[in-house]
A = this chain, B = another copy of it.
């Protein structure tokens, strides 16, 4: 396995929203996907950068930390004074103290991207068993022979469990992918009077303008099981933080509210690679960065299957790391 720079940004940094593209020297995130379908997600791609707004008093220290962090990863990041920030994004609260502009970042409509990938896969010959939940791994001795669906079995030479937080509900998978859902509530706003070019960040919320004129605001991180309902407290947090960041949003119409479930792992790192069962790979646990890490994840899985080697070191993401922990725990149990 070749050793390269860690392709995964540290989890503390890879915040929500599917809109942080990798910088130079990184595997390019979106350009890595060849979209052969007609549902081209690129019309929903916005390579317009991100503006992170700082409201605290000690912005000097905060600014240099953020910038050093990004430069250390080879990513462009530029400090801005309050006036310059509002020049870039007039929707910003006048009380902004400073900002960081990250010109290389992009956003993509996750729904459009998912539809495009699905269509591209089908055009490449993938068979889709839609509405057929995977119930269990189909195990034969120490080999995974495929998957057990509701009323049938699907044989496969390689089985990749990439079912997000639902991976853990597939029989036989929990030891490799002990993920739990981290609920994230979202709101889609429409404010025709408001100009917003870039993704806006604050400590409390992010705002992602879409090409269709919607502004997506999110997101909470809640451990509430497999519950996708929106709550009064979650929405109140998102809406008040959104209005604090861009006060004109108070007049924005609420077009949609929803919640998604991200797969969080015990150490908050992705779970990616082969297991100790032949033919079984895991690709989940990407927490809040699932879409951002799609290209590199797809590439590594493809490399493993085709070449039996991967171009970056993925050992720390191994699905076997939880079984070790489990054995340790057993060993230290009182007699």
Which chain A residues have a beta carbon within 8 Å of chain B's beta carbons?
187, 189, 217, 229-233, 235-236, 239-240, 242-243, 249-254, 257
Residue of B nearest to A217 (CB): B232
**Whole-angstrom distance between the Cβ of A243 and the nearest chain B Cβ:** 6
| Least distance between A241 CB and chain B CB atoms (Å) | 9
* Cβ of A137 to closest chain B Cβ, rounded Å: 34
A240–B236 touching, CB < 8 Å: yes
Complex alpha-carbon distance, A217 and B233, angstroms: 13
> Nearest B residue to A254 by beta-carbon distance?
B230
Beta-carbon contact of B233 and A251 below 8 Å:
yes
Q: Is the CB of B233 within 8 A of A236?
A: no
| Chain B residue nearest to A215 in the complex (CB) | B232
- Total copies of the chain: 2
**Cβ-defined partner of A250 (8 Å) among B233, B239, B252:** B233
**Smallest CB–CB gap between A183 and chain B, Å?**
12
Q: Are A252 and B239 in contact (CB under 8 A)?
A: no
**Is A232 a contact of B242 with CB atoms below 8 Å?**
yes
Question: Measured between C-beta atoms, what is the minimum distance from A205 to chain B in Å?
Answer: 11
- Some 25 contacts from A to B, beta carbons below 8 A apart, are A187-B232, A189-B232, A217-B232, A229-B253, A229-B254, A230-B253, A230-B254, A231-B254, A232-B239, A232-B242, A232-B249, A232-B251, A232-B252, A232-B254, A233-B239, A233-B249, A233-B250, A233-B252, A235-B254, A236-B236, A236-B239, A236-B240, A236-B250, A254-B257, A257-B257
